[in-house]
A and B are shown apart, each in its own frame.
Chain A
Amino acid sequence: MGELDAVYVLWLRDLKRYLRAKSRVFGSIGMPFFFLAFFSLGFRRVEFPGVEIDYVSFISPGIAAMVVLFTGVFSGVSVVWDRQFGFLREIMVSPASRFSIALGRALGGATTAFVQGLIMVAVSMLIGFRPAGNNLLLFPVLLFLTALTFTSIGIAISTVMRDIHGFQIVVNFFVFPIFFLSGALFPLSELPSFVEALAMLNPLTYSVDALRWSTTGYAFFNPILSIAVIFLSCFLFLLLSSFLFSRTEVE
């Protein structure tokens, strides 16, 4: 039996569930939408030194990254209850390897997060965001890899969580700091240098920068560096989550 079948089955299942649950589409876009709407209203006349693009263009790629961050981590962490009670147990007793299961789940979660991110971009365009430039085609690739990275991180977190009550802690002490430290809302150069150093350790920082570069041409880092970090962290976290997942027991 092919391991690819297991990966495919899990991916397909996530996609079917996503297409059937309309509330998920609105649910996970709600908060980022309000961030986008109110920040771009409130800061529309703000000019940051050295930043040549307007604020809507500055924040929109960051908000797309926010959507894949939140949706991806949530989808990954939801493996906790899926593993204990749900459908995932059926998969765990099948001949599919733990590695394929983690990969299928990561790809499924990443795909839905990616689609949510694209929807967010469309919404940004209604507010006045105008993506342009020669590197536009890279945008979906980078967005998907970012989604895959954070879904994998979510799965890795799920393997050390006992139950779902810890989820709020994950959101408040992991997801939000990652988001605020990513340069999605303001340029990193505005931060004090020790906070800026922290931001440099955050994989989302490079995603936000590369996504902004591919749609507006403006970048803080060298785009090659950002793209390399995106690929590398995606690979590493995918590997880490599969490794941790393969060692879990179902109690």
Chain B
Amino acid sequence: MSVVVKNLVKVFGNIVAVDSINFSVEKGEIFGLLGPNGAGKTTTMKILCTLLKPTSGDAFVEGYSVRRDPKKVREKLGVVFQESTLDIELTVFENLDLHGRLYGMGINERRSRIDELLELVNLEDYRNVQVKKLSGGMKRKLEVIRGIMHSPDILILDEPTLGLDAATRRTIWRHIEEISEDVTIILSTHYMEEAEKLCDRVAVMRNGKIVALDSPQSLKERIGEEIIVLSFESSDINVERLKAVSDGLTGLATHISLNGNAIEIHVKSASAVLPEVMEVLRTLRDVNVKGVEIRKPTLEDVFITLSGDSTSGDEHGGT
């Protein structure tokens, strides 16, 4: 195991930011911490990289405790923070060179590694440009390659694509996939798509707790193979009718929820359940179905289901 987290707790004043969580990450894995802002992802990451001390519990990085051997832990890690930690007055090369020196790399090793990494993310032409003149996407790329420059065993990425446009986000994902062959990655994100695309396993966090932990595929299967989405006129749909639909489909659906003007029904097989759904709808008077759609669940569906309240969609941040 590359990383083991045991009964980890972090309390700030009277706020429990991380509430006794447990997980472990295998060598070579991309492990995601997924959750809304304030779920405890960043606090967990900061404890892993020894910036914060745990209130109780412990975390082990390559066998070293963050409590007792923070220096050993830091030697194993590469970290990319949510906010930029580049020195914007220095050039691209100087930022990387300082980093290499800090991790005890010799001059030749630094030079060749910098060339290699700049080429990887197509920043060769910006080698001697001050960082303040780079775009947001370029800075992020630079931070990611700086994080892996000293060949860490574990790379910690805190919201690696926060605030980037869709195209740049995809580029960063590609680079993360490229480098993930050599390194164990723990990343936090509130973009479901990001977790789904990159992660081997995902821990869904909420209010400092891990509410689910599995591969994105299994998490999706857990809530059903398919989702039937029935959309209505807004005046036609309310909680009572949702209940009526729900009662009529007992035993056939794994989860039923209201999402705006639509009812979402999680089922094993849509084609088998759809006739029953139509039957139930017929029993309801004055209801016009505007559309029926069948789709595969996404991590977002998992997330909304796990949060247990389908009307709290606004809390989930971006996506």
A residues sitting closer than 8 Å to B (CB atoms) are: 1-2, 5-6, 8-9, 12-13, 16-17, 20-21, 85-97, 249-251
Q: Is B318 an interface residue (CB 8 A)?
A: no
**How many whole Å from B291's CB to the nearest CB in chain A?**
48
B residues sitting closer than 8 Å to A (CB atoms) are: 12, 46, 49-53, 71, 74-75, 77, 79, 81, 83, 85-87, 89-90, 94, 98-99, 101-104, 146
Known contacts A16-B90, A17-B89, A87-B86; A5/B101 CB under 8 A = yes
A158 to B98, CA, bound (A): 24
- B87 with A95: CB separation less than 8 A: no
Known contacts A1-B104, A6-B102, A249-B52; A95/B75 CB under 8 A = yes
- A89 with B85: CB separation less than 8 A: yes
- B71 with A97: CB separation less than 8 A: yes
CB-CB under 8 A from B98, the residues of chain A are 9, 12-13
Write 17 A-B pairs (CB below 8 A) sorted by A numbering.
Answer: A1-B103, A1-B104, A5-B102, A12-B98, A16-B89, A17-B87, A85-B83, A87-B85, A87-B87, A90-B86, A90-B146, A92-B51, A93-B51, A95-B102, A95-B103, A249-B51, A251-B52
A5 to B103, CA, bound (A): 9
- A94 with B102: CB separation less than 8 A: yes
- B52 with A21: CB separation less than 8 A: no
A16 to B12, CA, bound (A): 37
CB-CB under 8 A from A85, the residues of chain B are 83, 85
A192 to B56, CA, bound (A): 56
Chain A residue at minimum C-beta to C-beta distance from B72? A95
Contacts A5-B104, A87-B86, A90-B86 known; 9 new A-B pairs at CB < 8 A: A1-B103, A8-B101, A9-B98, A21-B89, A85-B85, A88-B85, A95-B74, A96-B102, A250-B46
A155 to B46, CA, bound (A): 23
CB-CB under 8 A from A90, the residues of chain B are 79, 81, 85-86, 99, 146
- B89 with A91: CB separation less than 8 A: no
CB-CB under 8 A from A97, the residues of chain B are 71
CB-CB under 8 A from B87, the residues of chain A are 13, 17, 86-87
CB-CB under 8 A from B77, the residues of chain A are 93
7 A-B pairs with the lowest CB-CB distances in the bound complex, closest first? A1-B104, A90-B85, A250-B51, A87-B87, A95-B75, A93-B79, A94-B102
A41 to B164, CA, bound (A): 57
CB-CB under 8 A from B102, the residues of chain A are 1, 5-6, 9, 91, 94-96
- A2 with B51: CB separation less than 8 A: no
- B90 with A13: CB separation less than 8 A: yes
CB-CB under 8 A from B94, the residues of chain A are 16
**How many whole Å from A141's CB to the nearest CB in chain B?**
28
A242 to B90, CA, bound (A): 26
Chain A CB within 10 A, most for which of B50, B75, B89: B89
**How many whole Å from B127's CB to the nearest CB in chain A?**
16
CB-CB under 8 A from A92, the residues of chain B are 51
CB-CB under 8 A from A16, the residues of chain B are 89-90, 94
A16 to B81, CA, bound (A): 24
- A93 with B86: CB separation less than 8 A: no
CB-CB under 8 A from A8, the residues of chain B are 101
Known contacts A90-B99, A91-B102; A250/B90 CB under 8 A = no
Known contacts A17-B89, A17-B90; A89/B81 CB under 8 A = yes
CB-CB under 8 A from A96, the residues of chain B are 102
* Residue of A2, A86, A89 touching B104 (CB-CB under 8 A): A2
- B90 with A9: CB separation less than 8 A: no
CB-CB under 8 A from B74, the residues of chain A are 93-95
Chain B residue at minimum C-beta to C-beta distance from A84? B83
Chain A CB within 10 A, most for which of B98, B101, B103: B98
A86 to B50, CA, bound (A): 17
A170 to B264, CA, bound (A): 59
CB-CB under 8 A from B99, the residues of chain A are 90, 94
A50 to B53, CA, bound (A): 58
